[in-house]
């Protein structure tokens, strides 16, 4: 799946005290970090169901696990996030659906810009039209 973004191993510094995982914007990511938030989902809930026109993100499951469906309009890939030292880079114009959250899941998101409602595409058919593909 060349068009979809792969998982990225994060910087892990380990010694007798444990592990420290670091992410530095512009050094480790193809963007500066402008917003940080995390999701603590309710059991059985699904989230996402949108794409961003220009926002870039790195999603890290810092606790527990979840599945993320990534769709570029041609290919769909189900990604399991279950390690706090691995992140999923998500560039613009990828539809995301987040589901199957474990009870202890905390999903951390590093974003390239503050929240801007105008950057969202919340209708899948509109997303398909925007990427120029037939549904």
All structural domains of the chain, each given as residue ranges with its CATH number in brackets, are 7-130 (2.60.120.10)
Q: Which pTM value belongs to this model? A: 0.89
The active-site residue, picked from 13, 50, 67, 115, is 50
Active-site residue 50, yes or no? yes
What pLDDT, in 10s, does the model give residues 75-89?
999 999 999 999 999
Contact 68, 107 (CB under 8 A): no
Taking residues 51-56, report their average pLDDT.
97
Nearest to 25 by CA among 56, 54, 66, 48: 56
Taking residues 31-45, report their average pLDDT.
94
Element (H, E) at 127: helix 124-130
Q: What is the pLDDT of residue 53?
A: 97
Length of the chain: 135
User: Can you tell me the distance from the alpha carbon of 113 to that of 111, in angstroms, rounded to the nearest whole number?
Assistant: 6
What pLDDT, in 10s, does the model give residues 3-29?
566 788 899 999 999 889 989 887 888
Q: What percentage of the chain reaches a pLDDT higher than 70?
A: 94
Taking residues 97-105, report their average pLDDT.
96
């Amino acid at each position: 799946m060349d068009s979809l973004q792969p998982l990225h191993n994060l910087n892990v510094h380990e010694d007798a005290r444990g592990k420290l995982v670091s992410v530095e914007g512009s050094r480790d990511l193809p963007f500066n970090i402008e917003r940080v938030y995390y999701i603590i989902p309710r059991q059985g809930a699904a989230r996402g169901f949108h794409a961003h026109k220009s926002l870039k993100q790195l999603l890290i499951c810092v606790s527990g696990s979840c599945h993320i469906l990534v769709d570029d309009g041609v290919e769909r890939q189900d990604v399991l996030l279950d390690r706090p030292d691995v992140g999923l880079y998500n560039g613009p114009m990828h539809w995301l659906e987040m589901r199957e959250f474990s009870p202890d899941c905390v999903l951390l998101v590093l974003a390239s810009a503050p929240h801007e409602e105008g950057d969202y595409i919340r209708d899948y058919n509109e997303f398909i039209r925007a990427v120029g593909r037939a549904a």
